[in-house]
Amino acid sequence: MAVVNCNPEFGIELVLAVPYAYWLYEHGELDGVITSTGMKPFYFFTDNVEERYTFRTIDNKAANMDSLPNNWIYGPNSNVEPGVLNYDQWSVPPFKDFYKNDEIIFDKPYIVVSNKYNWEHGHEPYGFFDIKCLYEMFNYLTDKGYTVIYKRPKNDEFPLDQNEIVGLRQGFRDIVSDVEGIGKINDFQLATYYDGVYCLDDLLNTYSNYSYNELQLKLYANASGFISVGGGNCLLCCLFQKPTVVYFGGNMVESCRPNFWTKNNYHFKINPLIKPVLDNDRKIMLNDEYREFIETIKNTFIGEENEQ
Task: Give the number of other Cβ atoms within 10 Å of residue 62's Cβ.
Answer: 11
The average pLDDT across 102-118 equals 94
Task: Label residue 183 by pLDDT band (50, 70, 90).
Answer: confident
Q: What's the number of domains the chain is made of?
A: 2
Predicted local distance difference test score (pLDDT) of residue 112: 98
Regarding whether 262 and 142 lie in a shared domain, the answer is: yes
Regarding whether 264 and 120 lie in a shared domain, the answer is: yes
Q: Judge whether 242 and 223 are in contact, CB under 8 Å.
A: yes
Question: Can you state the angle between helices 291-300 and 131-143, rounded to 10 degrees?
Answer: 30
The answer to whether residue 282 scores a pLDDT higher than 90 is no
Is residue 158 packed enough to be buried (19+ CB in 10 Å), middle (13-18) or exposed (0-12)? middle
The answer to whether residue 256 scores a pLDDT higher than 70 is yes
User: What mean pLDDT, rounded, does the chain reach?
Assistant: 90
Predicted local distance difference test score (pLDDT) of residue 149: 98
Domain boundary among 93, 128, 160: 93
pTM assigned to the model: 0.93
Tell me which amino acid residue 305 is: E
Question: Which one is predicted more confidently, 197 or 76?
Answer: 197
The average pLDDT across 238-255 equals 88
Domain boundary among 67, 93, 119: 93
Regarding whether 115 and 193 lie in a shared domain, the answer is: yes
Predicted local distance difference test score (pLDDT) of residue 143: 97
Report the CATH number that the domain containing residue 119 is assigned in CATH.
Answer: 3.40.50.2000
Secondary-structure percent of the chain, ordered helix, strand, coil, rounded to 5: 35, 20, 45
Which pLDDT tens digit goes with each residue over 131-170?
A: 999 999 999 999 999 999 999 988 676 676 666 656 666 6
Regarding whether 103 and 85 lie in a shared domain, the answer is: no
Determine the structural domain holding residue 149 and report its residue range.
99-306
Question: For the ranges 120-134, 157-171, 260-274, 277-291, which has the lowest average pLDDT?
Answer: 157-171
The answer to whether residue 187 scores a pLDDT higher than 60 is yes
Predicted local distance difference test score (pLDDT) of residue 305: 60
Which pLDDT tens digit goes with each residue over 36-47?
A: 999 999 999 999
